[in-house]
Homo-oligomer: A and B are copies of this chain.
């Protein structure tokens, strides 16, 4: 049976958990539209994350890859539109590295757009009652780094869709961050299951606004 690769991240930035990993782990082994979901946890390290990602891609040869990361402070699930070829780390990664204004891939283009049917996913999530939005930036930290590297790795494989989804804090994390929004990882897992199904079955993305005036 073909594979879907879902990745989450290890905790970082002083957190003791990372709901991105909890959410994708909950889907491990599930079958969606004839594909088996495999969940992998990536380290929050610029170098090691790419090795772990490439290892999973080589081992599983997945039909679809969605990387999931935490965006503490965002209120909704963010379907990322574009990965940019830059690292500008506001805090050190878990290995202590903090590159500034360095490329993810020295030989890569300035950016890659996701190959997920983003608008179809957005419509399906909202219709099902999941708070979701299109995001025009995945930041410049490990999440964008992994997203860019994923699209760079998939550039020769036009049939394999890839993309990135940012998620809010979990309620338990938000309990430690006064005023911060949250979404339980159980809700995130349900939303991801739905998103995987759309990404596997919708051939042409729908025509629907999701932009930002700035």
Contact = CB atoms under 8 A, between A and B. Distances in A.
Copies of this protein in the assembly total 4
Question: Top 6 nearest A-B pairs by Cβ distance?
Answer: A88-B211, A181-B181, A111-B111, A129-B172, A140-B211, A131-B174
Given A75-B75, A86-B81, A211 B139 contact: yes
B211 A100 contact: yes
Contacts of A128: 175
A156 interface: no
Interface residues of A, number: 70
Given A13-B213, A100-B211, A141-B211, 5 more contacts: A76-B181, A130-B175, A131-B177, A139-B214, A168-B181
Instruction: Label chain A's interface by main secondary structure.
Output: loop
Interface stretch (A29-37, A50-58, A201-209): A201-209
Contacts of A174: 75-76, 131
A94 interface: no
Contacts of A133: 178-179
A132 interface: yes
